[in-house]
């Protein structure tokens, strides 16, 4: 049986290292990510908070060199809402880590978070390391 290489994805010159969808375990809930090489992992915590109507507002705070907290306030409807340009989250191994988020919610159902993490270099060896961990 032949072995196939995993897909390599890039967008506008940035390497996609992780993407997917998460539904929080409970509402309003939070979602936690750990990303990066094992000795330099960056924790990213996305917390959903109730807020005024309209599209979601996103606040990003670096709590420590290895922890980023993102608060998403307000509810996105079925059309969704989220980042309009990539958020810079931090750096490791000399590369910047970026993310895009989009949140959807139908009625009182749970939110659905779509995410994509990027690094801003074509360093394939690092991207492969991130995908394995």
- Note the pLDDT tens digit of each residue in 42-54: 999 999 887 765 5
Confidence (pTM): 0.80
Summarize pLDDT for 57-105 with one digit per residue, the tens. Answer: 888 998 998 999 998 887 667 777 888 888 988 887 788 899 999 988 8
pLDDT value at position 122? 44
Binning pLDDT at 50, 70 and 90, where does residue 118 land? very high
> Domain residue spans in the chain?
10-132
State how far the Cα of 37 lies from the Cα of 75, in Å rounded to an integer: 33
Share of residues in the chain with pLDDT > 90 (%)? 28
Identify the helix (H) or strand (E) that includes residue 112: strand 112-119
Mean pLDDT value of segment 97-121? 88
Q: What is the pLDDT of residue 120?
A: 85
Q: Which residues contact 43 (CB under 8 A, 6 or more apart)?
A: 32, 33, 34, 66, 67, 68
Distance, in Å, from the CA atom of 97 to the CA atom of 107, rounded to the nearest integer, reads 33
Q: Note the pLDDT tens digit of each residue in 21-49.
A: 999 998 888 999 999 888 888 999 999 88
Phi-psi region of 94 (alpha: psi -120 to 50; beta: other; left: phi over 0): left
pLDDT at 130: 46
The upper half-sphere exposure of residue 22, i.e. CA atoms within 13 Å in the direction of its Cβ, equals 18
Distances (CA, A) of 100 to 15, 73, 119: 13, 16, 12
């Amino acid at each position: 049986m032949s072995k196939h290489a995993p897909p390599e994805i890039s967008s506008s010159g940035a390497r996609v290292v992780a993407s997917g969808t998460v539904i929080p375990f409970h509402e309003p809930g939070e979602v936690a990510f750990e990303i990066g090489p094992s000795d330099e992992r960056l924790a990213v915590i996305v917390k959903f908070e109730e807020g005024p109507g309209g599209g979601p507002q996103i606040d990003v705070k670096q709590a420590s060199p290895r922890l980023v907290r993102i608060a998403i306030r307000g509810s996105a409807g079925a059309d969704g809402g989220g980042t309009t340009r990539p958020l810079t989250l931090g750096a490791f191994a000399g590369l910047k880590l970026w993310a895009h988020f989009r949140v959807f919610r139908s009625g009182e159902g749970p939110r659905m978070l779509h995410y994509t993490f990027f690094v801003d270099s074509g360093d394939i060896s690092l991207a492969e390391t991130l995908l394995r961990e």
